[in-house]
């Protein structure tokens, strides 16, 4: 049974005339008659009673008509939904990002994307780069914002560098200034300071601990195990200081003192990753373009 045959059948059923039906579907009348006969052969039943000047449906035709109309309507619905998806009117984007990027980089970009494509659902997965790479590899995400270098480099992933961001030290305005009040502090100045530290799996944790060890000391944790919002809250409460991305510190609002790190400082490289063997969906490619232009 062919889709075109159902179109021809419904046209004849509605016009009760083969020639008018052929005009309606823009096909030659002999071709339409041949397709109707082919449909009848496949179904094993006559669909029309053909008398001179009088075309009526058989019982089989009456049974097929509502089903054929439903199939044609569903096909129209499918076509419209696919067109809307292609035109970015509907669909979804599954984006992974580290919590600090969800706090710092993404709000402005996602707002701009939502304003332009309000019908696209944005599904955000927070996690460390290691977890996000795994989710990408198994197809659970379309795109992910990760910190380079990747913990487990994979040839199945393609990455595009997005930005290089400075890290800064945040502390409570009521606490003693880091580095004895200097305008900038070195990592070495954090020796003996009480730090608020992220949970295991956070890229910022590994970066900060590695930098301290490179200066010859182990960091002293006042509190550890928090997510980004919790870490900032603990710092505001005066429990210790923390090393965070500049964008996060800028968006964190009042209640934090921000001190830059002295050169060469600490930086992290943010990249946009996706599977190299599968092209991201159209909506994901559009979000990718907006992130790269931000």
pLDDT at position 251 is 85
C-alpha torsion sign, points 7, 12, 14, 20: positive
Sign of CA dihedral 59, 65, 68, 70: negative
Q: What is the reported pLDDT for 236?
A: 94
SS3 category, 235: helix
Q: At what angle do helices 282-293 and 59-86 cross, to 10 degrees?
A: 10
- The residue-averaged pLDDT of 263-283 equals 90
Higher-scoring residue by pLDDT: 98, 41:
41
25, 7 in Cβ contact below 8 A?
A: yes
Owner of token pair 């008018």: 20
In this predicted structure, the answer to whether residue 278 has a pLDDT above a threshold of 90 is: no
- For residues 280 and 64, the model is more confident at 64
The yes-or-no verdict on residue 242 having pLDDT over 80 is: yes
Q: Tell whether the model's pLDDT for residue 152 goes beyond 80.
A: no
Buried b / exposed e along 48-72 (16+ C-beta atoms within 10 A): beeeeeebebeeebeebbeebeebe
119-141 pLDDT, tens digit per residue, is 999 999 998 888 899 899 888 99
Poorest-pLDDT segment among 2-11, 100-109, 157-166: 100-109
Q: Facing residues of 180 across strands?
A: none
More confident of the two residues 192 and 156: 192
Residue 213: its pLDDT value, please?
96
Q: What is the percent of the chain where pLDDT is above 70? A: 100
Please state, for a pLDDT cut of 90, what percent of the chain lies above it: 64
| Helix locations, the chain, DSSP H | 3-15, 18-24, 29-43, 59-86, 99-104, 106-116, 129-137, 203-214, 228-236, 246-251, 282-293
Q: What CA–CA distance (Å, rounded) separates 243 from 133?
A: 24
At residue 253, does pLDDT exceed 80? no
| Mean pLDDT, residues 139-165 | 87
The whole-number pLDDT of residue 78 equals 86
pLDDT, mean of residues 96-111:
88
Q: What are phi and psi of 141, to 5 degrees?
A: -130, 150
Domains of the chain: 3-72 (1.10.10.10), 75-163+270-293 (3.40.190.10), 164-268 (3.40.190.10)
Residue 280 confidence class, pLDDT cut points 50, 70, 90: confident
Provide the sign of the torsion angle of the four alpha carbons 175, 176, 179, 183, taken in this order. positive
- Of the listed ranges 95-104, 185-194, 214-223, 269-278, the least confidently predicted one is 95-104
């Amino acid at each position: 049974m062919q889709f075109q045959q159902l179109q021809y059948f419904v046209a004849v059923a509605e016009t009760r005339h083969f020639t008018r039906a052929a005009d309606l579907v823009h096909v030659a009348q002999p071709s339409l008659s041949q397709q109707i006969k082919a449909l009848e052969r496949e179904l094993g039943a006559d669909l029309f009673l053909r008398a001179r000047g009088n075309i009526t449906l058989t019982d089989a035709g009456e049974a097929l008509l509502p089903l054929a109309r439903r199939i044609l309507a569903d096909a129209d619905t499918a076509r419209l939904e696919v067109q809307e998806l292609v035109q970015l009117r509907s669909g979804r984007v599954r984006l992974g990002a580290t919590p600090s990027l969800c706090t710092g980089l993404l709000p402005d970009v996602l707002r701009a994307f939502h304003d332009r494509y309000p019908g696209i659902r944005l599904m955000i997965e927070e996690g460390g780069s290691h977890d996000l790479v795994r989710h990408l590899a198994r197809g659970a995400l379309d795109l992910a914002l990760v910190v380079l270098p990747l913990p487990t480099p994979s040839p199945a992933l393609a990455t595009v560098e997005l930005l290089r961001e400075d890290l800064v030290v945040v502390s409570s305005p009521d606490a003693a200034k880091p580095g004895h009040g200097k305008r900038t502090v070195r990592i070495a100045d954090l020796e003996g300071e009480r730090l608020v530290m992220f949970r295991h799996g956070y890229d910022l944790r590994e970066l900060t601990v590695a930098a301290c060890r490179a200066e010859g000391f182990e960091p002293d944790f006042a509190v550890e195990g928090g997510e980004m919002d919790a870490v900032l809250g603990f710092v505001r409460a005066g429990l210790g200081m923390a090393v965070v991305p500049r964008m996060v510190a800028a968006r964190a609002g009042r209640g934090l003192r921000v001190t830059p790190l002295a050169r060469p400082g600490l930086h992290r490289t943010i990249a946009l990753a996706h599977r190299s063997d599968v092209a991201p969906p159209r909506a994901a490619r559009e979000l990718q373009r907006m992130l790269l232009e931000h």
